[in-house]
Structure 1
Amino acid sequence: MKICVLGAGALGCAIGGVLAEGGCEVTLVTRNAAHVDAMNRDGLRLVEDGVERGVKVRAATSCAALEPVDLVIVLVKSFDTRRAIEAAGPVVGPDTVVMSLQNGLGHEDELIAVAGRQRVMAGKTYVGGVLLAPGRVRIGVQDKETLIGELDGTVSFRAQAVAKAFEKAGLRCIVSDNILGTMWDKLLVNVATGALAGITGLSYGDLYAVPEIEEAALAAVAEAIAVAQAKGVRLSMTDARQPWLKASAGLPPQFKTSMLQSLEKGSITEVDFINGAVVRQGERLGVPTPVNRTLVACIKGIERRLQAA
Structure 2
Amino acid sequence: MKIAILGAGALGCAIGAALTEGGHETWLLDRSPEHVGTMRRGGLRVDDERGSRQVAVRATTEAQEAGVVDLVVVLVKSFHTEAAMRGARCLLGPDTLVLSLQNGLGHENVLADVVGRARVLAGKTYVGGVLRGPGHVQSGVAGKATYVGELDGARTARALAVAAAFDQAGLATIVSDNIVGTMWDKLLVNVATGALTGITGLTYGQLYDEPALKDAALSAVGEAVAVAQAAGVTLSIAAPEQAWHLAAEGLSPAFKTSMLQSLDKGSVTEIDFINGAVVRWGRRHGVPTPVNATLVACIKGIERAMADRQRGERVA
For the criterion TM > 0.5, the same-fold answer is yes
Match of 1:14 in 2: 14
1:70 maps to a residue whose letter is: D
d(CA) in 1 for partners of 2:278, 2:189: 12
Post-superposition Cα deviations, 1:80-100, rounded to whole Å, max 9, x if no partner, equal 000011011111111001000
- Distance in 1, matches of 2:55 and 2:64, equals 24
Distance 2:278 2:260 in 1: 19
Question: Aligned to 1:4, what secondary structure does the other structure show?
Answer: strand
* Alignment pair present for 1:138 and 2:173: no
Q: Does 1:289 align with 2:289?
A: yes
* Number of residue-to-residue matches in the alignment: 309
| TM-score between both structures, scaled by the size of structure 2 | 0.97
Name 2:183's counterpart in structure 1: 183
Paired letter, 1:138: Q
Give 2:32's aligned residue. Answer: 32
Q: Which residue of 2 aligns with 1:110?
A: 110
Q: 2:312 corresponds to which residue?
A: none
Q: Distance in 1 between matches of 2:303 and 2:64?
A: 32
In the TM superposition, what is the alpha-carbon distance from 1:50 to its structure 2 partner? 7.2
- Write the deviation string for residues 61-95 of structure 1: whole angstroms up to 9, x where unpaired: 12133310010000000000000110111111110
SS class of match (1:287):
coil
Aligned residue for 1:64, secondary structure, equals helix
Hey, which bits of structure 1, 4+ residues long, moved more than 2 A? none
Aligned to 1:209: 209
Conservation of the 8 A alpha-carbon contact between 2:4 and 2:66: no
**Aligned match of 2:221:** 221
Cα distance in 1 between the residues matched to 2:237 and 2:211: 21
| 3-state DSSP of counterpart to 1:23 | coil
TM-score of the two chains, using structure 1 as the length reference: 0.99
Checking the alignment, whether the CA contact within 8 Å between 1:71 and 1:97 is kept in structure 2 is yes
Match of 1:85 in 2: 85
Structure 2 unmatched ranges of 5 or more: 310-316
Q: Does 1:192 align with 2:192?
A: yes
Aligned positions of 1:161-180 closer than 5 A:
161-180=161-180
Partner residue of 2:271?
271
Deviation at 1:5, TM superposition (A): 0.3
Identity among equivalent positions (%) equals 63
Question: Which SS does the other structure have where 1:26 is aligned?
Answer: strand
Deviation digits for residues 128-171 of structure 1 (CA, Å, limit 9, x no counterpart)? 00000110100011111000000111011111111111111111
Specify every segment of 5 or more residues in structure 1 that has no aligned partner in the other structure, as ranges.
none
Measured in 2, the distance between the counterparts of 1:92 and 1:111 equals 13
